[in-house]
Every structure is written in C-alpha cells, then in structure tokens.
Amino acid sequence: MNCKTLYIIALFCSLAASSLLAQETIPKDWNSEKIRGSRFIMYFSCNGNPFLTDKFVIGEIELTDGVKIGNLNLRYSTWQDELIYFNSALSAQIIIDKNSIKGFSFIDASGQKRSFRQQYFNGFLSGYRYFELLSECDISLLAFRKAGLHACAVYTDISGVVKNVEYQNDYTYYLYNPKKGYEQIRIGKNSLLSKFDKHAHKLIKRILRQNMVQIVDEQSFVKAWNLICKNGVSVNF
C-alpha cells in the first residue's frame, strides 16, 4: 500500500479520535449520591462464617432514588443482615444504611448473579430485611439468608481460646406477593406441592418429571419453581 495513503488514513483516524476526546468529561468526584453508613466493627470470632461470601466481591447497589452505584467491594453479613462495603479512599469497612438503598447485586465465585432487595417483613421479628431474589414471577421466591450463633461441641480456636459456639446458616424461604405478603416455604417437594390445589399436583409432578427435576436442594427447588411459574400453574396463596 502506498505510504501516502497510510498517512492520510492515520490523519483521518486522529481527526476522528479528536472528536471523541471533545465529548463530555465528567469529573472523577462528581456529586453523585453519596453512600452513607457507619463503621463496621468486627464480629465475635468463632467457627463458621458470619458472611455470605468468603471475601469482598465486586457488586452494585441501588439507592432509594433509583441511582445505581457499581464497582463496589461488597460483603453481605448473614449474621446481622447488614451490607458492608469497603471504601478504599478511607480504608474503612462501612455498613451501608439499610434505609438508603433499595437493593444490591453481585456476581459470586461461581459466576452467578445474586440479587438482593430490601423490603419490609411483617412477620415475626418484623422490620426491614435484605431478601435474596431467587425467582421473580407474580409470586416471587425469596430467601432470607440468616446465620445464627449456635451451641456446638467444645473446640479451641486459632487464638487458643476454648469456645462452644459457631455460626450456622439458618436460611428461610418465602413466597412473596406485594398484595398478599409473605408465606414461608421449605425446600422440598411436599412443601412445594402444598402451596397448590390438589388437582394441580398431577400436572406439577408431570412437569417436574418431564424436565427431569428432582427437588433435593435450593438450586433444584428454584428450577422447579421457575418451571411451574412458566407453565402458569396458579399458586394457592
């Protein structure tokens, strides 16, 4: 190719690039909504994990006014139902005010997107909680990821202190509809079937059989729920 032609192409490319550079440059410290919270103080150390993830994960939060802030180091505390983020500018772990956000999401180690939303729970121990959204239909399937401090066999921790408690996961699952509220559900085929009229049981069983779904854990339960939703079987709720 002629050298001159190459020069001309290069000139045009540089001109095109200059037009891109002339576009809006938003300052780094733009006055977007600021995340508010208080300092995180380490929990009681014992066996088990008080957090949903082992490490901080990159995630996104949605503020109450709908503004989304991404690329945050997030960690959800199942022990206190708190969302913690790491502020690198202040080098501090901060508990985000629950009333300032709508929800948050992150991608876990297995590459799966996990979405949580903050909503009011009107059952026992009422208040605002973070629920994980497992399935979103007319009736959503939610999980309340809670860790409890349970008594266990005596052991010596890494500091040489003898302890007899550990963090254990106490997850609860709910069917939720904004109009009808919450209905607790357990992971299991019988529990699932009990939420439907008897005449629909045959149909549900057939759907599960045809799709080779056996409810043995949370994942298969969600899969089964999604299939039932997709087939439009009405829930007795």
Partner 1 sequence: MERKILIVLLLFMALAGNARDKEYFALFTDRDLYASGETVFLKVFVPSDEPTGIVTIDLISSVGQAITKIMLEISDHQANGYLYLPDSISSGYYILRTSTRFASVHTIKELYVANRFSGVPEQDELLRPSGELPDPGTKVQSIRINGLDDSYKRRKSVTALLRLPEDLLLQIDGNVHVSISKTNPEYSGKSFILKTKSPPGQIIEKEKIILEGIVQDLKTAQPYKNAVVYLSIPDSVPGLKSSITGPDGRFSFQLNPEYSGRSFSSKTKSPPSQIIEKEGIILEGVVQDMKTSQPFKNAVVYLSIPDSIPGLKYYITGTDGRFYFQLKGCYGKIPIVIQCVDYVSNQLLKISLVDTESLRGGLPLFERKPLPAELRKTISLINDAVTIRKLFNQKEITVQPTPPLKRDLVPFYGTPNSAVYPKLFTDLPDFNEVSRELLPGVKFRTFNRIPSLQVLNNAAHAFFNSPPLVLLDGIPVMDLNVIKGMGSGKIERIDIVTGERFYGDLLLQGVVAIFSAKGNETQVREADDLIKINLDGIEPQATLNIPSDQLSTEPDLRTLLYWEPSVKPKPTIPVDFRTSDLKGSYKLTIRGKTRDGSIFFKEQNFEVN
Does the protein bind partner 1 through residue 151 (CB under 8 A)? no
Does the protein bind partner 1 through residue 31 (CB under 8 A)? yes
Complex with partner 1: residue 99 or 210, whichever CB lies closer: 99
CB of 134 to partner 1, least distance (A): 29
Count other Cβ atoms within 10 Å, centred on residue 139.
20
Cα distance between residue 24 and residue 64, in whole Å = 27
Cα distance between residue 185 and residue 92, in whole Å = 38
Q: Which of 3, 20, 29, 210 binds partner 1 (CB under 8 A)?
A: 29
78-117 residues near partner 1, rule: CB under 8 A? 87, 89-90, 92, 94, 97, 99-100
How many residues touch partner 1 under the rule CB under 8 A: the total is: 34
Site string for partner 1, 37-76 (x = CB under 8 A): xxx-x----------------------xx-----------
For residue 171, which of 140, 137, 132 has the smallest C-alpha distance?
132
Amino acid making up residue 190: N
Phi, psi dihedral angles at 155 (to 5 degrees): -145, 165
Tokens of 201: 């049981």
CA 116 vs CA 61, 124, 173, 192, 209: distances in Å: 9, 20, 13, 22, 31
* 15-23, 70-78, 126-134, 172-180 -> range binding partner 1 (CB under 8 A): 15-23
Complex with partner 1: residue 61 or 228, whichever CB lies closer: 61
**Continuous segment of H or E residues that includes residue 185:** strand 181-185
Does the protein bind partner 1 through residue 14 (CB under 8 A)? no
Q: Which of 3, 5, 110, 199 binds partner 1 (CB under 8 A)?
A: 5
Task: Please check whether residue 206 is in contact with residue 227, taking contact to mean a CB–CB distance below 8 angstroms.
Answer: no
Which residues make up the interface to partner 1 (CB under 8 A)? 1-2, 5, 8-9, 12, 15, 22-31, 34-39, 41, 64-65, 87, 89-90, 92, 94, 97, 99-100
